[in-house]
C-alpha cells in the first residue's frame, strides 16, 4: 500500500496503528452482510420470476368421474377464454397421485379415492391478470373451483426477504457510522497532538485544505490497508459457505451462489469504505481548523 508523503508525523499516532484493524474487522462484517443480501435478493428474484407467470386451478372432487370431467372442461373453457392465459393444461391424475404419495402412501387406483383435479396455467408474459375476477368467473362456472396464484405465499416470502434486507442495511449503516466515528475521533486527537506543527504550517501560509489533505490521504491509505486485510478473510468465508452449500445441492436449499457481478460489488466495498474514511477525515479537519485558528 502506498504511504503518502506527510508534513505531519501522523504515522506515529497510536490510533494510526489501530485504525486499519478496526477497518479490517468492519469490512469483514460488511462483506458478509452485503453478500447475504445479494444472495437472498437474487434468490427471491428468481422465485418471483419462476412463480409469477403461473397459477394453479384446483377443482374439488365430484361424485362421479363424468361429473368431474364436465367440471374440468368447463374450467378449461373459462381459462382458455381468458386473454391473459397463454396455456392451460390439466395435470394428469397419475401425477397428482404421485405428488400426494409421500403423504398418503401408494394409492390403489381401485380404491377410487376422490382426488381433486389440478390445472396448470401459464400466463402470457407482461399480461396483467385480474386474479380475483378470474376466480369469480371460475367459481360461477364450476362449483368447487379455486384459484391459487401463489401470491400469498410469494408475498410472505418477499416480506421476509425485505425484512432481512432492511436488517442488513441497518448493519451496513452501523458499520459506516462506527468507521466514520472512529475516523472523526482519530482525526480530532491527531489535530490536538500536532497542534504546534499545524500552527507552523498555517504561519507558513498553508490553507486548511492543505492540512486536511494530509489527514485525508493518511485516512485513505490506512483504510485501504485495513480494507484489504478485511476483504481477504471475508471472501474466504464466502467461498467456504459456497462449498458447504454445494454439498447440499439438489436438496431443498435454493441456489446460494454469488454471481460474478456480486463479487465485483464486494471487491468495491473496501474502496467505498476508504473513501468514506477519507472524506470524514477531511470534513473533520476543515471544521475543526475553522474553529481553532
Q: Toward other proteins, which CB reaches closer, 202 or 287?
A: 202
Q: List the one residue out of 190, 277, 191, 213 whose CA is nearest residue 6.
A: 213
Instruction: Candidates 45-53, 179-187, 191-199, 236-244: pick the segment binding other proteins (CB under 8 A).
Output: 191-199
**39 forms part of the interface with other proteins (CB under 8 A):** no
**4 forms part of the interface with other proteins (CB under 8 A):** no
Applying CB under 8 A, the site for other proteins has a residue count of 17
Interface residue with other proteins, options 105, 203, 250, 260 (CB under 8 A): 203
Instruction: Candidates 102-110, 195-203, 216-224, 233-241: pick the segment binding other proteins (CB under 8 A).
Output: 195-203
Q: Toward other proteins, which CB reaches closer, 146 or 286?
A: 286
Cα(110)–Cα(223) distance, rounded to whole angstroms? 74
Cα(136)–Cα(247) distance, rounded to whole angstroms? 46
Q: Toward other proteins, which CB reaches closer, 111 or 203?
A: 203
Residue ranges in 209-248 that form contacts with other proteins under rule CB under 8 A: 210
Interface residue with other proteins, options 204, 247, 251, 252 (CB under 8 A): 204
Residue 198: CB minimum distance to other proteins, A = 10
Binding site for other proteins (CB under 8 A): 7-9, 12, 196-197, 199-207, 210, 290
Amino acid at each position: 500500500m502506498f504511504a503518502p508523503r506527510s508534513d505531519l508525523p501522523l504515522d506515529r499516532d497510536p490510533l494510526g496503528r489501530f485504525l486499519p484493524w478496526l477497518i479490517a474487522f468492519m469490512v469483514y462484517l460488511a462483506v458478509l452482510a452485503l453478500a447475504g443480501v445479494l444472495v437472498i435478493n437474487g434468490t427471491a428474484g428468481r422465485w418471483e420470476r419462476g412463480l409469477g407467470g403461473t397459477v394453479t386451478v384446483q377443482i374439488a372432487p365430484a361424485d362421479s368421474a363424468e361429473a368431474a370431467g364436465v367440471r374440468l372442461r368447463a374450467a378449461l373453457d373459462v381459462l382458455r377464454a381468458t386473454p391473459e392465459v397463454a396455456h392451460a393444461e390439466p395435470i394428469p391424475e397419475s401425477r397428482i397421485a404421485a405428488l400426494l404419495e409421500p403423504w398418503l402412501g401408494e394409492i390403489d387406483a381401485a380404491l377410487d379415492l376422490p382426488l381433486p383435479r389440478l390445472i396448470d396455467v401459464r400466463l402470457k408474459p407482461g399480461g396483467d391478470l385480474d386474479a380475483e375476477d378470474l376466480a369469480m368467473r371460475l367459481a360461477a362456472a364450476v362449483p368447487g373451483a379455486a384459484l391459487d396464484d401463489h401470491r400469498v405465499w410469494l408475498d410472505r416470502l418477499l416480506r421476509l426477504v425485505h425484512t432481512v434486507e432492511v436488517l442488513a442495511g441497518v448493519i451496513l449503516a452501523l458499520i459506516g457510522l462506527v468507521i466514520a466515528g472512529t475516523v472523526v475521533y482519530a482525526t480530532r486527537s491527531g489535530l490536538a497532538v500536532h497542534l504546534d506543527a499545524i500552527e507552523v504550517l498555517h504561519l507558513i501560509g498553508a490553507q486548511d485544505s492543505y492540512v486536511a489533505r494530509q489527514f485525508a490521504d493518511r485516512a485513505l491509505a490506512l483504510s485501504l490497508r485495513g480494507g484489504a486485510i478485511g476483504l481477504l478473510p471475508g471472501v474466504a468465508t464466502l467461498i467456504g459457505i459456497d462449498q458447504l452449500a454445494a454439498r447440499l445441492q439438489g436438496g431443498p436449499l435454493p441456489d446460494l451462489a454469488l454471481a460474478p457481478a456480486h463479487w465485483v460489488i464486494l471487491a468495491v466495498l473496501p474502496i467505498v469504505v476508504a473513501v468514506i474514511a477519507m472524506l470524514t477525515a477531511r470534513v473533520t479537519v476543515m471544521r475543526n481548523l475553522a474553529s481553532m485558528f
